[in-house]
Amino acid sequence: MGGRIKIKQPKIKTWQILVLLIPLLFIDATLLRYDHIHMTELRDAVLKADEEENDEEIAKKLAELRDYVSSNIVINVVDDNGAQKVMFGTGPFYLEHQYIRAASKALEEAEAKMTGDNNPYGNVYNEAGQICRPIAIRNGWAWDNPNYINCMLTEINKYPSADELHDKIIASLPSTEMYRHNYAAPIWAPTFTGFMILLTVIAIVVIFIRLIGWIIIRLSLLFIR
């Protein structure tokens, strides 16, 4: 006496999980967007402090940005040599004004060392300054303006005997990497956003497993018949 195979139906049906998955995906996208926007606001606060040349505020805002990004899921799209790249974190950003201040200070110190009466490089530096300073005044450039710094280096390079001087000036300038920041975010974090994403992943996995199970059962029924 043959019997039919009875398949126990789960209490929560697959179509119900599918229906639940739609709002879950919408909530996840909304939360991830909020985290990204908040990261952008914190990063903009850092750049604003940099424009205001407030080193104390820069350090404070950098710490706030770093702490937030390290404890939240922040997905960002950054430009990588013309190509769009998705990454977890802030992406690279630069404290341009802080660097210019440091570079300007380094140039002033280099000038003080090189313009002595017994320094063979003094005249070269003075000659470059006589050309670049009027240009800076005419264009309203401050002495820490990158255009003025570039002008000085360009004029110095015109002197065949200034290679060593140029090398000394370049060596005195701070590395731009010291003013480049790029904070990484975790792929998953124990936040509200993280738990909602985890719930979504579980729902997707359950649907996938049930789909595989359904296919296996259908194939087995073909052989039983």
Which pLDDT score, from 0 to 100, does residue 116 have? Answer: 54
Q: Does 84 share its domain with 31?
A: yes
**pLDDT-based confidence at 48, cuts 50/70/90?**
very high
Residues 106 and 166 in one domain: yes
113 and 211 in one domain? no
Q: How many structural domains does the chain have?
A: 2
Secondary structure string (H, E, C) spanning 80-106: ECCEEEEEEECCCEECHHHHHHHHHHH
Q: What 8-state DSSP symbol labels residue 43?
A: H
Residue numbers of the domain that contains 161 = 97-178
pLDDT digits (tens, 9 = 90+) for 167-188: 666 667 777 888 899 999 999 9
pLDDT band at residue 199 using 50, 70 and 90 as cut-offs? very high
> Does the residue 9 lie in any domain?
no
Largest Cα–Cα distance of the chain, in whole Å? 116
Report how far residue 165's alpha carbon sits from residue 119's, in angstroms, rounded to the nearest whole number. 11
Does residue 2 fall inside a structural domain?
A: no
Question: Does residue 75 surpass a pLDDT of 70?
Answer: yes
Among 33-37, 138-142, 165-169, top mean pLDDT goes to 33-37
Is residue 224 a part of any domain in this protein?
Answer: no
pTM: 0.69
Q: For the chain, give the percent of residues with pLDDT over 70.
A: 79
